[in-house]
Amino acid sequence: MKLGDCHYCGEPIYFVLDRLLGAHEDCRSRYIRARGQIVDAVSTAASTSDPSIKLLKDKVTTIADSNYVHKSEVIPLILEGWEAAIEKAVTEKDFADQTVAKFLSFSEFRFLPKKKMSNSACWSNYSEKRREQLVEVTERKRLQAQEIAQRKAQRKRRKVQQRIIDDIRNGLRIEPNVAMDNTPINFQKSESLIWIFPESEYLKEVVVQRRRHSKWGVIPTIFGMESIDRGTVGLTTKHIYFVGGKERFRIRYDRVVSFVEYNDGLGLTRGAEKARHQMLVTGDGWFTYQLVTNLAKLA
Ligand SMILES: [Zn+2]
């Protein structure tokens, strides 16, 4: 006795169990397996360095057509495979910029001209909205990956920097980041170069408004930081150097009464009377501060 038609192949169903599924068990498992195969095919292609979009499209279309996967289901599956590949790459330990670039080039297949896309059945349902979703997902993943890579690079840099600081504390010889003769600074013979921060900025405390009397009482002097010059900051075993376009100076560590760590640089106040606060923006406040305070202890 016939118990209805198979949801997938349309042929009659004769078994009760199949009736419960509304399909032949074999048809149903073929369909489910095919869906997984499509996701895998896309995910694998997205993980290879130079995927062939044509091969992928042919493969996906063949799998779908011969296993009852309707063309309207194909795009969501491609999206799934795409996301799976990105997810995998993002969570992998050694996710590099190169991988991001790879994904971006792979993502170009989504922007094939409409005419070309319509040649293939599986692209016909590729709506504008889906495309936007895919772009959004990719962009979000790319940003996440970038953030992870940046944090990783930052941790690596900190590790190297920490080692340099430890070496200074232990009185070991430090290999500076540039050769002595590659710097615009004239060092003394008795000192050795530890680190150079090129493209730094020198700021100095200036009077914004002088102390004055007003009808409400005395208004104290107001100070502000003013950018004076741009140039190179050099740290040696004895001095902090600054060499800019207009200004150049050398400060002995023991002439500084206080160092301040800023996010992007170092603040210092010399011991001289009426000394104004100075700031050297090196781009890395933590490292500059650690170097200077540890060198000052040894000097
Ligand atoms: Zn069937």
pLDDT digits (tens, 9 = 90+) for 37-91: 999 998 888 777 666 777 888 899 999 999 999 888 887 787 777 767 766 665 5
CA 48 to chain centre: 22
12 CA from centroid of ligand 1 (Å): 8
204 CA from centroid of ligand 1 (Å): 82
CATH architecture of the domain with residue range 176-298? Roll (2.30)
pLDDT of residue 96: 45
Evaluate whether 133 touches 79 at the Cβ level (below 8 Å). yes
Strand 217-219 and strand 222-236: the pairing is unpaired
227 CA from centroid of ligand 1 (Å): 78
Confidence of residue 226 (pLDDT cuts 50, 70, 90): very high
Residue 181: HSE in the Cβ half-sphere, 13 Å Cα cutoff: 0
pLDDT of residue 43: 82
Evaluate whether 168 touches 291 at the Cβ level (below 8 Å). yes
In the chain, ranges of CATH 2.30.29.30 domains: 176-298
pLDDT tens string 232-285: 999 999 999 999 999 999 999 999 999 999 999 999 998 876 778 999 999 999
Distances (CA, A) of 79 to 40, 137, 287: 11, 9, 44
What's this model's pTM, rounded to 2 decimal places?
A: 0.55
22 CA from centroid of ligand 1 (Å): 9
**How many CB atoms lie under 10 A from the CB of residue 206?**
12
13 CA from centroid of ligand 1 (Å): 8
pLDDT at residue 122 above 60?
A: no
pLDDT at residue 22 above 80?
A: yes
